[in-house]
Chain A
Amino acid sequence: MAIVGPSGSGKSTLLGLLAGLDTPSAGDIRLLGRSLAGLDEDGRARLRAGRVGFVFQSFQLVPGLTALENVMLPLELAGRSDVRSQATAALEQVGLADRADHASSQLSGGEQQRVALARAFAVDPAILFADEPTGNLDQRTGEQVIDILFQLRADHGTTLLLVTHDHSVASRCDRRLAMVDGGISEAA
């Protein structure tokens, strides 16, 4: 599913609420079948662990860690075993196995976002939230990243919730919602 709309319309706020990163002032949100209203901050974090993936506009790789170590991070937090080989496999899926030992600062923007994709899918999440994943990339690199994103989504059978203002990206989703001034409606 894609959420589209102009900047300031509240897309990212909605994404944050849905992922349990923030709490609504009124109403309830159900994530993976659980009501978020009854959960505290840590409860929501535990719910996300190993089941929710994230991709951000500004990549958000941890500086000072290598590509592989960045991918290992959510696996370790989810308490998985055999973390290193799973992470290596995830990097292979995005075609960056040979860059595993590079620090994030040594990677190009496209490569950084591919590492972020590997990191997001490594835990095999039930749902993946992506916030403007191509916003910081040029068009050609952006398209490559989107191709990999949709490929991985299909392979893993993950539900994808994508915030974007790029209609060509949105058009590849099954369902599109439009946000204008905080209101929401089905988009064409």
Chain B
Amino acid sequence: MRPDGRHWRALRRDLQAREPRLLALALAIAVAAVAAVGFFVDRVEQGLEQRAAALLAADVMVESSREIPDRFAEAAHDRGLSTTRTVSFPTVVVVDDRTELVSVKAVGDGYPLRGTARIAEHPVGAGEPAARPPQTETVWLDPRLFGQLDVAVGDTVPVGDREFAVGAALTYEPDRAGELFQLAPRLMLHLDDLGTTGLITEDSRVTYALLVAGDATEVAAYRDWAEAEGGRDFQVQGVADARPEMRTTLDRATGFLGLAAMTAVLLSGAAIAIAVHAFSGREASVAVLMRCFGATQRMVVTGLVLRLLVAGVLASLVGLGVGWFAQHGLVWLIGEWFDQALPAASLRPAIVALAAGMVTLLGFGLVPALRIRRVPVIHVLRRDAGLPEPSAIAVGGAALLAVGVLLYYQAGDFELGTYMLGGAVAMLAVLGGVAWLLVRVAGRVRGRGLSPWRFGLASIARRPRTSTVQAAGFGLGLLALLLLAVVRVDLLDTWEAQIPPDAPNQFMINVQGDDVAAVRDALGTAGIDVERFYPLVRGRLVRINDREVRPDDYESERTRSLVDREFNLSWLDSVPDGNEILAGSWWPADADGSEWSIEAGIAERLDIDVGDELTFRIAGEEATGTVTNLRAVNWETFRPNFFVLASPALLEQHGADWMTAYRATGEQVQAVAGIAREFPGVTVLDVEALIEQVRSVIDQGTRAVEYVFLFSLVAGLVVLVAAVNASREERRAEIGLLRALGASRGRIRRHVVAEFGSLGAIAGALAGLGASVIGWAITQRAFDLPYAFNPWLLVIGVGGGALGIALAGLMTTRRLVDESPMGVLRST
């Protein structure tokens, strides 16, 4: 059907009416929320890719314990990509009487392909960006080595068969961050010098890498090729694999943001459904008039749907604009996560947001709008003919479908999507069901109340359907507000508390067993109370029960590299802080058996269960014990955590290094440096910068999430307004009649307060319970954080609901109370 003047006039009329405005507002909010988060996440993803590339020093890396064949580099060159190579291995450097285990990395010209290394003249400070890798004949040393080897820039150090000049302190190496705890201090030299050192022999544990970078499409194609070509011997790493702890935090942040946006969409959807329902009810009288004048049903329905769509598109465009501006706010809040300016957003989020707007509009609005089809034409003569109600199943089904589509898309994660969808469905079902019950109960008890209450409760009972919709609508609106006011704070606090303020910022490793007491005393003198020293032995997992463990037996690359490495093993007599026993039981303090405790994630990866017998090879000797428990470990505490722990009896006889973690501030840091000099071999790792980085990510993430939740807040308010508005026309007639019968304004206001107050209390109770359940589900299940029930939710829900809705009711009916009863009665 071609829209003609009639449709434009109708559209103009719509824009003057209350319901279409509410609908447009709700839709604009939904689109704005989705667009803001979409644009932002898009830019962050692009920014992250750039940054992650720097953390890999390349766009893609081929890694192996064997030399990378030339065909890998040639294939990259064929695609116009640039390459360079690195070779890493551990070795020992001896200067005078000082011996240090160092991690050598020989790098080729062009290293790093992404990101920048930093070097300094002296082993302090952040240093300057290095324009090129070390020249031949020179090495760059980790700042720690300057103290440990007692050398300065310009001195020479022996590396294998050669002597090298110390060229600079290597203060920052882009592709090193992820290996913080694994490596000995770095010694970097040029690849051309490697052959002459004579360090690479058959037995060396060498890692060869080919770094590749260039055009994104070509890189992706190259990666696919390399993965197929490399098989198991050559691991291909892309940027998404780098820096897991940062990735976790950012994933959580974008997860929260998506959740916040979806909350706004769900609420807007509810507001849209209520508004369209009221709108189609009001439009029914015009529709029957047109039918009287000879319009067919199709004309009437298409006309209405067309107008809804046009209004929807206009509102969505406005929302898109708002969202685009709003994402600048987000960038301003958390853009500093990124060293350089974020890349511009792509067009995709705009399309997604518009599509989300249309899905929301049609999913929530179409079925309520279509009820106009079934209005009997005789309604034009006889008002008591009544308006048909849409089938609850159809309304719910369409809304569910829309929500499902949006949730799965937004969450991008089946579990989170399912939780939200299940939560939304259960929520609506429970809200609707309980509201219906309470409305019935309200009707029963009305005879026992005082006059205004009796009338108020009677009003609720007289319109069971509208009242149920209203109570559910209020419930939903209040639920959103409660979630935002209470659960959000709890949730974000829990997140922030993941890194306690007293989290250790230094690790001291390689403490000899004989020195532990002395080091503990020295730290105590410096004002640092050390809770615990952990013994540390390194062992390779060689057998699970009677089966030999071979890396090649495992499909997953991560699992293979896990069993290929030595585990850090420790023994303890009690469960470490922040660990939780998931299966089996911890050994008694005086146990003399041979028992293992395994971290649950790794146990699953290696298919280990309680009762299995594991054998580790530690410095040539084997240690065999039985797994008696599985643990969950909170890795974000920054405390020493271990995949594998043993009962003391099992490992005590092995010579161990000891380590500890503590928090050192101000002058204590100097004192610790002194201790490290006093006990040669002791190494201090400072993780303050890393903690600060993660903490600031969480901090800014929290603010960003709160910002997006503002959209939900407004959407929640729109739901409330739409719900109050739903009964406005009926109420208008009712108030006119009461006024005509001589009721004073004060009395009518008391009726309104009684009615809306009761509805608000009902809705508030529902919202309080709902918010608790959702809070639990989101925190515990989806984000894997602990959750504590907050009893205030119920109190605030009921009290705030009764008060707030009564006020809202008074405000919406204010004009109605002032209207002349005559005018009202005439026009209805």
Residues of A near any B CB (own CB < 8 A)? 12-13, 15-16, 19, 21-22, 41-42, 45-52, 54, 56, 60, 62-65, 69, 72-74, 76-78, 109, 131, 136
Contact = CB atoms under 8 A, between A and B. Distances in A.
A12 B382 contact: yes
B418 interface: no
B4 A21 contact: no
Interface string B7-33: 001001100110000000000000000
Contacts of A78: 293-294
B5 A22 contact: no
25 contacts: A16-B377, A19-B292, A21-B380, A21-B381, A22-B376, A41-B297, A42-B298, A45-B295, A48-B294, A52-B294, A54-B292, A54-B293, A56-B381, A60-B285, A62-B13, A62-B289, A64-B13, A65-B13, A72-B6, A73-B290, A73-B293, A74-B293, A77-B290, A77-B293, A78-B293
B296 A46 contact: yes
Contact of A21 (B285, B296, B378): B378
B9 A65 contact: yes
Interface string B763-774: 000000000000
The 7 closest A-B pairs by CB, nearest first: A49-B294, A64-B13, A74-B293, A22-B378, A42-B296, A21-B377, A48-B294
Interface in B276-300: 285-286, 289-299
Interface string B172-212: 00000000000000000000000000000000000000000
* Residue from A46, A48, A72 with most neighbouring chain B CB atoms (10 Å): A48
A60 B377 CA distance: 13
Contacts of A136: 826
Given A16-B378, A64-B17, A109-B826, 14 more contacts: A16-B381, A45-B291, A48-B294, A50-B294, A51-B294, A60-B289, A62-B13, A62-B286, A64-B12, A69-B9, A72-B6, A76-B5, A77-B295, A131-B381
B295 A49 contact: yes
A15 B17 contact: no
Nearest to B13: A64
Contacts of B826: 109, 136
Nearest to A54: B292
Contacts of A49: 293-295
A15 B291 contact: no
A109 B378 CA distance: 23
Given A16-B381, A41-B377, A48 B289 contact: no
B292 to A, nearest CB: 5
B308 to A, nearest CB: 16
A62 B285 CA distance: 8
Contacts of A15: 381
Nearest to B382: A12
Contacts of A54: 292-293, 380
B666 to A, nearest CB: 72
A76 B380 contact: no
A63 B479 CA distance: 36
A21 B16 contact: no
B292 A48 contact: yes
Nearest to B283: A62
Contacts of B16: 64
Contacts of B289: 60, 62
B47 to A, nearest CB: 49
Contacts of A12: 381-382
Contacts of B6: 72-73, 76
A139 B668 CA distance: 100
A101 to B, nearest CB: 13
Contacts of A50: 294
B286 A21 contact: no
B710 to A, nearest CB: 33
Contacts of B17: 64
Contacts of A16: 377-378, 381-382
A138 to B, nearest CB: 12
A12 B379 CA distance: 11
A62 B298 CA distance: 19
B13 A77 contact: no
A21 B292 CA distance: 7
Nearest to B12: A64
Contacts of A13: 382
B380 A46 contact: no
Interface string B369-410: 000000011101110000000000000000000000000000
* Residue from B292, B295, B377 with most neighbouring chain A CB atoms (10 Å): B292
Contact of A45 (B4, B9, B12, B294): B294
